[in-house]
């Protein structure tokens, strides 16, 4: 079974007869998976190999960045450039148009080096949001061991003029984040606390609220990490057994079971109706009956 249905609200997601398909394999620790809507390709990172990969239906898989400075999260900005979170350098970088060089967008906050930027998004106003847990300093597989300079793990907003603002700092380890439809709210999960929080986003980009809307529970391998929403506001979060699907209220309505532990995923395909899963060993695809939120 691909779906463990908990509530009837999962039905609109399920495409009858859909199967989990392997599109690329031979990895150790994949992350940072994102779909390029304009050029119709998929990218993801393998932190254990220190590479970033690109996949298309026609050409298959190619390496586009190595060494990657242990890149984790990736996002495609409004100009088609790749925004990346580098664990080894504690930087947020941007690949410039011809792909030959990178620009560092953020590396320090109030004179101290960031911990290890992890997951990243951009909103319709061109503001970049990213999480900054400690994993790139504490995990041998996903980073380089070193002491932190900051005494907290925060969520940041980087404005188009380059101003970096810490918008929340009361996390143990903030990880996945995404805007809900309309961009009036921001979701952020906290991996060791096994929950998802919702913040209201003011016009100036400040946050309020931050209530816990879901606890991601289970006994199988998997923790809150990757986080997305679909066009109807359903919330998807990695967790024990695969990807947990939640109603907009945060109520669990089902689990999409993945063949291996999934740390991140994204919607993709020509109409954003396909889910792509980045697992420990492979990249999988599943066609669904819903669609992700367009970033363009």
pLDDT at position 230 is 98
The radius of gyration of the chain from alpha carbons, rounded to an integer in Å, stands at 17
Q: Which residues are within 8 A (CB) of 170 and not within 5 positions of it... i.e. 6 or more apart?
A: 210
Contact 82, 95 (CB under 8 A): yes
What digits encode the pLDDT tens for the residues 133-188? 999 999 988 999 999 999 999 999 999 999 999 999 999 999 999 999 999 999 99
Task: Specify the CATH number of the domain 3-287.
Answer: 2.120.10.30
Give the DSSP letter string of the chain.
Answer: --EEE-SGGGGGG--TT---EEEEE--SSEEEEEEETTTTEEEEEETTTTEEEEEETTTEEEEEESS-SSEEEEEE-TTSPEEEEETTTTEEEEE-TTSS-EEEEE-EETTEE-S----EEE-TTS-EEEEE-SHHHH-TTTS-----SSSSEEEEEE-TTS-EEEEEEEESSEEEEEEPTTSSEEEEEETTTTEEEEEEE-TTS-EEEEEEEEE---SSS--S--EEEBTT--EEEEETTEEEEE-TTS-EEEEEE-SS-EEEEEEESTTS-EEEEEESSEEEEEE-SS-B----
Q: What is the pLDDT of residue 201?
A: 98
pLDDT mean for each 10 residues of the chain (296 residues): 94 95 96 96 97 97 96 96 97 90 97 98 97 96 95 98 98 98 98 98 98 96 97 98 98 97 97 97 97 88
User: So what's the pLDDT on residue 72?
Assistant: 98
d(C-alpha 280, C-alpha 276), whole Å: 13
Residue 100's pLDDT is 86
- Would you list the domain boundaries of the chain? 3-287
First to last CA, the chain: 34
Give the pLDDT score at 295. 81
Residues 6+ apart with CB under 8 A from 262: 222, 226, 238, 242, 243, 277, 278, 279
Alpha-carbon distance of 94 to 110, in angstroms, equals 21
Task: Output the pLDDT for position 1.
Answer: 74
């Amino acid at each position: 079974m691909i779906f463990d249905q908990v509530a009837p609200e999962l039905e609109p997601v399920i495409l009858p007869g859909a199967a989990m398909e392997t599109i690329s394999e031979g990895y150790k620790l994949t992350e940072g998976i994102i779909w390029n809507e304009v050029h119709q390709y998929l990218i993801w990172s393998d932190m254990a190999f220190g590479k970033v990969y690109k996949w298309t239906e026609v050409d298959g898989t190619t390496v586009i960045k190595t060494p990657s400075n242990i890149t984790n999260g990736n996002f495609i900005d409004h100009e088609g450039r790749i925004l990346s979170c580098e664990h080894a350098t504690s930087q947020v970088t941007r690949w410039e148009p011809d792909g030959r060089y990178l620009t560092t967008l953020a590396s320090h906050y109030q004179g101290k080096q960031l911990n290890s930027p992890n997951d990243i998004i951009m909103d319709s106003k061109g503001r970049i949001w990213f999480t900054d847990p400690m994993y790139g300093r504490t995990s041998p597989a996903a980073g380089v061991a070193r002491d932190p300079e900051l005494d907290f793990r925060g969520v940041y907003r980087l404005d188009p003029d380059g101003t970096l603002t810490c918008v929340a700092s009361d996390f143990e380890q903030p990880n996945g984040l995404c805007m809900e439809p309309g961009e009036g709210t921001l979701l952020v999960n906290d991996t060791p606390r096994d929950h998802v929080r919702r913040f209201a986003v003011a016009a100036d980009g400040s946050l309020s609220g931050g209530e816990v809307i879901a606890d991601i529970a289970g006994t199988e391998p998997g923790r809150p990490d990757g986080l997305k929403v679909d066009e109807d506001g359903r919330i998807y979060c990695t967790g024990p057994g695969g990807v947990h699907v939640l109603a907009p209220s945060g109520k669990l309505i089902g689990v999409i079971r993945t063949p291996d532990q999934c740390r991140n995923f994204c919607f993709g395909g020509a109409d954003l109706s396909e889910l792509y899963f980045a697992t420990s060993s492979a990249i999988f695809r599943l066609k669904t009956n819903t669609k992700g939120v367009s970033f363009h």
